[in-house]
Structure 1
Amino acid sequence: MNSLAKILKNAQALWPFYVGVIITSAVGAALALASPFLVREATDTIVESLDGGLSVSTALATVLGFALLLLLADALNGVVSNVGGYIGDVMISRLRQILSTRYYAKLLSLPQGYYDNQVTGTIIARLDRSIMFITQFLQSFSNNFFTMIIQVVAILIITAFYYWPLAILLAILFPIYMWLTALTSKRWLKFEKTKNEHIDVANGRFAEVVGQMKVTKSFVAEVRELDVFSKHYAGFVDTTRPQSRWWHVMDTFRSVAMAVVFFGIYAVIFWRTLEGHFSIGDMVMLIQMVTMAKQPVFMMSWMVDTAQRAIGGSREYFQVMEQEVEPTVDKTLVEATRAINEPQLNTTQVKPLPLPADASSPIFSFDDVTFAYEEDKPVIKGVSFNARKGEKVALVGESGGGKSTLVNLMLGLYHPSHGTLNVLGHDASELTAARLRASVGVVFQEAFLFSGSIRENIAYGKPGASDEEIIEVAKRANAHEFIQAFPNGYETVIGERGLRLSGGQKQRVAVARVMLKDAPILVLDEATSALDTKSERAVQAGLEELMKDRTTLIIAHRLSTIANVDTIITLDKGVVDEKGSPEYLSTTGGIYAQLLKLTASTSAADRARLKKFGFSRESETRDEEVEHED
Structure 2
Amino acid sequence: MKETINKLKWIYKKSKPGIVTLTVATIIGSILSAISVYNAMISKSLIDSAINKNLDSVIKWLVIMGSIMLSSILLSTLRSFLSTYSSNKILNELQKEYFSHLAYSEWMELSKFHSAGLMTRITSDTSTINNFICGTIPSIITSIIMLGISFFTLLKIEPNLAIFTIVILPIIGLINKLCSRRLKKFYKDIQDKNIEYTSFVQESLQNLMIVKTFCNEKKTINNLDRIQNQKLKLSLKQSLFTSLTGMLFSIGSSAAYFVVFCWGALSLVKGAITFGTMTALLQLFNKIEYPLSSLMGCYSPIISSLAATERLMEIESLALEKGTNNMNVLISNKPVIKLDNVSFGYKEDVNILKNISCTINPGETIAIVGPSGQGKTTLIRLLLSLIHPENGDIYLKNNNFKELLSKDHRNLISYIPQGNTLFSGTITENLLYGNKDATYEDILKACELSCSLDFINKLDEGFDTKIGEKGLGLSEGQAQRIAIARAFLRTKPILILDEATSALDEKTEVSVLESIKNLEHKPTCIIITHRPKALSICDRILRLDNGYLIEEDRNDIPKLEISLA
Amino acid at match of 1:516: L
Structure 1 pair 478/241, CA: closer, same or farther in 2 (3 Å)?
closer
The alignment status of 1:183 with 2:178, answered yes or no, reads yes
1:384 equivalent in structure 2: 357
1:231 equivalent in structure 2: 226
Instruction: Provide the secondary structure at the position in 2 that maps to 1:395.
Output: strand
Amino acid at match of 1:560: K
The alignment status of 1:353 with 2:331, answered yes or no, reads yes
Q: Is the 8 A contact 1:525 1:554 kept in 2?
A: yes
1:222 equivalent in structure 2: 217
Task: Report the Cα distance in structure 2 between the residues aligned to 1:398 and 1:582, rounded to whole angstroms.
Answer: 19
2:461 equivalent in structure 1: 488
Amino acid at match of 1:191: F
Task: Report the Cα distance in structure 2 between the residues aligned to 1:595 and 1:444, rounded to whole angstroms.
Answer: 23
Q: Is the 8 A contact 1:18 1:142 kept in 2?
A: no
Task: Report the Cα distance in structure 1 between the residues aligned to 2:137 and 2:273, rounded to whole angstroms.
Answer: 36
Task: Return the match for 1:159 from 123, 148, 154.
Answer: 154
1:623 equivalent in structure 2: none
Q: Is the 8 A contact 1:458 1:509 kept in 2?
A: yes
How far has the Cα of 1:418 moved from its partner? Answer: 0.5
Task: Report the Cα distance in structure 1 between the residues aligned to 2:128 and 2:114, rounded to whole angstroms.
Answer: 22
1:406 equivalent in structure 2: 379
Task: Report the Cα distance in structure 1 between the residues aligned to 2:292 and 2:314, rounded to whole angstroms.
Answer: 33
Q: Is the 8 A contact 1:181 1:304 kept in 2?
A: yes
Task: Return the match for 2:187 from 189, 192, 210.
Answer: 192
Amino acid at match of 2:171: I
Task: Report the Cα distance in structure 2 between the residues aligned to 1:188 and 1:580, rounded to whole angstroms.
Answer: 64
What is the aligned-residue RMSD (CA, Å)?
Answer: 2.7
Task: Return the match for 2:421 from 444, 448, 452.
Answer: 448
Q: Deviations over 1:432-486 (max 9, x none)?
A: x1x2111111112224111222222221111122223222322333333332333
Instruction: Provide the secondary structure at the position in 1 that maps to 2:344.
Output: strand
Q: Deviations over 1:525-547 (max 9, x none)?
A: 11112333344344334333348
Q: Is the 8 A contact 1:450 1:497 kept in 2?
A: yes
Task: Report the Cα distance in structure 2 between the residues aligned to 1:447 and 1:517, rounded to whole angstroms.
Answer: 18
Task: Report the Cα distance in structure 2 between the residues aligned to 1:385 and 1:104, rounded to whole angstroms.
Answer: 37
Task: Report the Cα distance in structure 1 between the residues aligned to 2:319 and 2:356, rounded to whole angstroms.
Answer: 28
Amino acid at match of 2:16: Q
Task: Report the Cα distance in structure 2 between the residues aligned to 1:352 and 1:468, rounded to whole angstroms.
Answer: 27
TM-score (normalizing by structure 2): 0.91
TM-score (normalizing by structure 1): 0.82
2:551 equivalent in structure 1: 579
How far has the Cα of 1:380 moved from its partner? Answer: 0.4
Structure 1 pair 465/563, CA: closer, same or farther in 2 (3 Å)?
closer
The alignment status of 1:518 with 2:522, answered yes or no, reads no
Task: Report the Cα distance in structure 2 between the residues aligned to 1:524 and 1:17, rounded to whole angstroms.
Answer: 51
Structure 1 pair 111/374, CA: closer, same or farther in 2 (3 Å)?
same
Instruction: Provide the secondary structure at the position in 2 that maps to 1:157.
Output: helix
Structure 1 pair 354/204, CA: closer, same or farther in 2 (3 Å)?
same
How far has the Cα of 1:275 moved from its partner? Answer: 6.5
Task: Report the Cα distance in structure 1 between the residues aligned to 2:361 and 2:232, rounded to whole angstroms.
Answer: 62
Q: Is the 8 A contact 1:477 1:541 kept in 2?
A: no
Task: Report the Cα distance in structure 2 between the residues aligned to 1:519 and 1:124, rounded to whole angstroms.
Answer: 33
Pairs within 5 Å for 1:10-409: 10-49=14-53, 59-60=54-55, 62-141=57-136, 144-262=139-257, 265-266=260-261, 278-328=273-323, 353-355=331-333, 363-409=336-382
Instruction: Provide the secondary structure at the position in 2 that maps to 1:461.
Output: coil
Amino acid at match of 1:234: N
The alignment status of 1:467 with 2:429, answered yes or no, reads no
Q: Is the 8 A contact 1:328 1:430 kept in 2?
A: no
Task: Report the Cα distance in structure 1 between the residues aligned to 2:198 and 2:477, rounded to whole angstroms.
Answer: 32
Amino acid at match of 2:277: D
How far has the Cα of 1:208 moved from its partner? Answer: 1.7
Instruction: Provide the secondary structure at the position in 2 that maps to 1:374.
Output: coil
Task: Return the match for 1:500 from 461, 465, 473.
Answer: 473
Q: Deviations over 1:122-151 (max 9, x none)?
A: 322332211332333333236533332221
The alignment status of 1:568 with 2:559, answered yes or no, reads no
Task: Report the Cα distance in structure 2 between the residues aligned to 1:542 and 1:452, rounded to whole angstroms.
Answer: 26
Task: Report the Cα distance in structure 1 between the residues aligned to 2:246 and 2:254, rounded to whole angstroms.
Answer: 12
Amino acid at match of 1:108: A
1:627 equivalent in structure 2: none
Structure 1 pair 248/23, CA: closer, same or farther in 2 (3 Å)?
closer
Structure 1 pair 211/151, CA: closer, same or farther in 2 (3 Å)?
same
Q: Is the 8 A contact 2:91 2:130 kept in 1?
A: yes
Q: Is the 8 A contact 2:543 2:552 kept in 1?
A: no
How far has the Cα of 1:557 moved from its partner? Answer: 0.9
Q: Is the 8 A contact 1:440 1:522 kept in 2?
A: yes
Amino acid at match of 2:314: Q
Amino acid at match of 1:100: Q
Task: Report the Cα distance in structure 1 between the residues aligned to 2:405 and 2:386, rounded to whole angstroms.
Answer: 14
Tell me, which stretches of 5 or more residues in structure 2 are unaligned? none
Structure 1 pair 365/548, CA: closer, same or farther in 2 (3 Å)?
same
Q: Deviations over 1:87-107 (max 9, x none)?
A: 111111111111111121011
Structure 1 stretch displaced more, 275-284 or 562-571:
275-284
- The percentage of counterpart residues that share the same residue type is 23
1:342 equivalent in structure 2: none
Q: Is the 8 A contact 1:450 1:496 kept in 2?
A: yes
Structure 1 pair 492/350, CA: closer, same or farther in 2 (3 Å)?
farther
Task: Report the Cα distance in structure 2 between the residues aligned to 1:406 and 1:263, rounded to whole angstroms.
Answer: 77
Structure 1 pair 595/472, CA: closer, same or farther in 2 (3 Å)?
closer
Structure 1 stretch displaced more, 401-410 or 204-213:
204-213
Q: Is the 8 A contact 1:565 1:582 kept in 2?
A: no
How far has the Cα of 1:187 moved from its partner? Answer: 0.9
Structure 1 pair 496/546, CA: closer, same or farther in 2 (3 Å)?
farther
